[in-house]
């Protein structure tokens, strides 16, 4: 039967355009399986590196009036210990994308190789974490380094390589161009925005790391603008990420040019039903508007 919601993305076949964003429920095969069973079209793991990391001291999360601030600090068991989780997640029946970080191009290469060997369907290079020194956005903000890291990872593997960009730059489309020059198969826009909160009683920053990344509804309009700008300037598949909380948000991102959307913070607020409810909402929208396939709405906001 023709599935209106199915979409191809950088060689991956998604049953619907919703994906689990990196950093949420992504540390075990079991939790990734649960998200897949709840209806996600694909799942992305927590960012994984070469060596284990415990992350920052608490508090690592704080809720603000308009979104969540986090500074987890890349806690992860290392790719060596995570391989069995990838294997388990593979039984979920949807593409499993492993988020990879490194402190150098060489580290990205090593983790890429091991994640691919462990059975990842694709990789998502995290060149956009806003608050860990010498990795993340320190790579993604430097277009030369960004291109080098993507090229190195691409050389190492045949599976699709997605690149997740930071909004904490002057020109996000320039970063997308650099990732494309490096061979990126798709762009994920965006990671969290650098932000902070201060406790007026203690007079001190709340997060253990002082600075963190803002996610949730507050960043949706910024993420949408980033997707729109990239779509206008760079011929590359785009995945929207940032504050997607309902089907309208998902449709907005697709109209701006995204082929799929990632959902993170809203899973914490609304639970796992969000994948099905967004998919159903998109389906009803397509029906009402007379579209045959979700592909038809990708980039429609650009048509004059």
Give one word for 126, left, alpha or beta, with left for phi > 0 and alpha for psi -120 to 50.
beta
Binder to ligand RRO among 47, 112, 262, 279 (CB under 6 A)?
47
The residue (of 33 and 128) whose beta carbon lies closer to ligand RRO is 128
Give one word for 195, left, alpha or beta, with left for phi > 0 and alpha for psi -120 to 50.
beta
CB of 166 to ligand RRO, least distance (A): 9
> Can you tell me the distance from the alpha carbon of 283 to that of 254, in angstroms, rounded to the nearest whole number?
13
> What does the block give as tokens for 293?
């396939």
Catalytic residue at 94?
Answer: no
Q: Which of 66, 94, 129, 226 is catalytic?
A: 129
DSSP assignment of 72-131 equals: ----B--HHHHHHHHHHHGGGSS-EEEEE--SSHHHHHHHHHHHHHTT-SEEEEE---TT
Binder to ligand RRO among 7, 71, 96, 165 (CB under 6 A)?
71
Binder to ligand RRO among 18, 31, 70, 143 (CB under 6 A)?
70
> Can you tell me the distance from the alpha carbon of 297 to that of 71, in angstroms, rounded to the nearest whole number?
35
Tell whether residue 265 is a contact of ligand RRO (CB under 6 A).
no
Which residue of the chain is nearest ligand RRO when measured via CB? 213
- Show contacts of 83-86: CB within 8 Å, 24+ apart: 83/114, 83/117, 83/118, 84/29, 85/27, 85/28, 85/29, 85/32, 85/45, 86/29, 86/45, 86/115, 86/118, 86/119, 86/120
Neighbour tally for 83: CB within 10 Å: 19
Tell whether residue 74 is a contact of ligand RRO (CB under 6 A).
yes
4: which residues sit within 8 A by CB, 6+ positions away?
283, 286, 291, 292, 293, 294
Tell whether residue 242 is a contact of ligand RRO (CB under 6 A).
no
CB of 221 to ligand RRO, least distance (A): 18
Q: Which stretch binds ligand RRO (CB under 6 A): 108-116, 121-129, 143-151, 267-275?
A: 121-129
SS3 304: coil
Binder to ligand RRO among 35, 129, 224, 282 (CB under 6 A)?
129
Binder to ligand RRO among 16, 18, 126, 143 (CB under 6 A)?
126
Q: Tell me which residues in 208-237 interact with ligand RRO (CB under 6 A).
A: 213
Q: Which stretch binds ligand RRO (CB under 6 A): 4-12, 70-78, 249-257, 284-292?
A: 70-78
Q: Tell me which residues in 139-178 interact with ligand RRO (CB under 6 A).
A: none
Q: Tell me which residues in 4-33 interact with ligand RRO (CB under 6 A).
A: 23
Tell whether residue 73 is a contact of ligand RRO (CB under 6 A).
yes
The residue (of 262 and 279) whose beta carbon lies closer to ligand RRO is 262
Q: Could you list the active site residues?
A: 129
Residues that bind ligand RRO (CB under 6 A): 23, 47, 70-74, 126, 128-129, 136, 191-192, 213
């Amino acid at each position: 039967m023709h599935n209106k919601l199915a979409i191809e993305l950088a060689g991956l076949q998604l049953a619907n355009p919703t994906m689990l964003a990196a950093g949420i429920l992504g540390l075990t095969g079991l939790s990734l399986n649960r998200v897949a069973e709840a209806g996600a079209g694909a799942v992305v793991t927590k960012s994984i590196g070469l060596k284990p990391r415990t992350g920052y001291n608490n508090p690592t999360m704080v809720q603000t009036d308009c979104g969540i601030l986090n500074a987890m600090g890349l806690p992860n068991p290392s790719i060596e210990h995570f391989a069995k989780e990838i294997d388990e997640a593979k039984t979920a029946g949807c593409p499993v994308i492993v988020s990879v970080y490194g402190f150098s191009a060489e580290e990205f290469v090593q983790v890429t190789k091991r994640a691919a060997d462990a059975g990842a369907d694709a990789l998502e290079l995290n060149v956009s974490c806003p608050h860990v020194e010498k990795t993340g956005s320190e790579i993604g903000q430097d277009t030369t380094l960004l291109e080098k890291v993507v090229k190195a990872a691409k050389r190492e593997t045949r599976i699709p390589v997605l690149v997740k960009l930071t909004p904490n730059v002057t020109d996000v489309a320039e970063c997308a161009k650099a990732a494309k020059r490096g061979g990126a198969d798709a762009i994920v826009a965006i990671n969290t925005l650098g932000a902070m909160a201060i406790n007026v009683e203690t007079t001190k920053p709340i997060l253990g790391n002082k600075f963190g990344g803002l996610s949730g509804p507050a960043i949706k309009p910024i993420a949408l603008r980033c997707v729109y700008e990239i779509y206008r300037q760079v011929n590359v598949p785009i995945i929207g990420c940032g504050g997607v909380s309902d089907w309208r948000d998902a449709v907005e991102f697709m109209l701006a040019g995204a082929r799929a959307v990632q959902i993170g913070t809203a899973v914490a607020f609304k639970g796992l039903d969000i994948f099905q409810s967004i998919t159903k909402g998109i389906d009803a929208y397509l029906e009402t508007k007379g579209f045959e396939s979700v592909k038809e709405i990708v980039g429609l906001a650009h048509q004059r």
